Amino acid sequence: MSPTYVTKEGYASLTKELEDLKKNKRREVAQKIKEAKELGDLSENAEYSAAKDEQAFVESRIAELEAMLQDVQIIRSSDNKKKEAVVVGSTVRLKMGDQELSYTIVGSSEADPLNGKVSNESPLGKSFLGKKVGDEVSVLVPVGTITYHILEIL
C-alpha cells in the first residue's frame, strides 16, 4: 500500500475524526441498537436495521482511518526548500491561456479541487509532480488536452 500523504492539519483532522468515532459515535450507535432491540421483533424493526447499517458504516470508517494513519506521511512545507520541482505539498502557480491559477498538490484524503487542492493521484496532480518552473504541462481531460505553464512553485 502506498503512503497516505497529509498535511499537518489533515493529520490532526483525521486523528480527531478517528477519536470521535471510537469514543462517541460507537457509543451512540450502540445505544440506538439497544433501544431498537427493546422495541421487540427485530425482523421487522426499521430502527434496528438502520442502527445496524450505521454501525457497519462507523466500523468501516474506523478501519479505513486506522489503515490510512498506519502508513501516513506528513507533508512539510520545508520538504521542498529549494522549490526546484513540484512535490506533494507544493503550491503551483500556473498560467492556462490568459488565466492564472494556483493548485496545491495534496494527498487524496485532503483533495478539494473546488478550493485548489488537487490530489497527487489525480491526472492533474500526477502531471505536475517533478515538473519545474517554466515547464509546459499537458493534461488529457475528457474535453481534450489542456496545457499549463508553470510560473512559480511555492
Number of domains in the chain: 2
Residue 40, domain extent:
4-74
Q: Which pLDDT band, with edges at 50, 70 and 90, does 7 fall under?
A: confident
Largest CA distance in the chain: 69
Tell me how long the chain is. 154
> Do 67 and 84 have their domain in common?
no
**What is the spatial distance between Cα 90 and Cα 137, in angstroms, rounded to a whole number?**
16
Mean pLDDT of 31-60: 90
> Do 15 and 41 have their domain in common?
yes
* Last residue in a domain, options 74, 89, 123: 74
Burial class for 38, CB neighbours closer than 10 Å (0-12, 13-18, 19+):
exposed
The string of pLDDT tens digits covering residues 114-140 is 999 999 999 999 999 999 999 999 998
Q: Which pLDDT band, with edges at 50, 70 and 90, does 151 fall under?
A: very high
Mean pLDDT of 81-99: 89
**What is the spatial distance between Cα 24 and Cα 41, in angstroms, rounded to a whole number?**
27
Give the pLDDT of residue 41: 78
**What is the spatial distance between Cα 151 and Cα 154, in angstroms, rounded to a whole number?**
10
> Do 65 and 127 have their domain in common?
no
- CATH assignment at residue 106: 3.10.50.30
Q: Which residue has the cell 450502540?
A: 30
Cell of 1: 500500500
Cβ partners under 8 Å of residue 133, min gap 6: 150, 151, 152, 153
What percentage of the chain exceeds 90 in pLDDT? Answer: 72
* Last residue in a domain, options 43, 74, 105: 74
**What is the spatial distance between Cα 103 and Cα 113, in angstroms, rounded to a whole number?**
8
Lowest model confidence (mean pLDDT) among 19-28, 29-38, 82-91, 93-102: 82-91
* Last residue in a domain, options 74, 94, 109: 74
AA identity, residue 89: G
> Do 64 and 88 have their domain in common?
no
**Alpha-carbon distances, residue 11 vs 49, 60, 123, 130 (angstroms):** 33, 19, 24, 24
> Do 85 and 147 have their domain in common?
yes
Does position 71 have pLDDT exceeding 70, yes or no?
A: yes
CB atoms under 10 Å from CB of 98, counted, come to: 5
CB 8 within 8 A of CB 40: no
Give the pLDDT of residue 1: 65
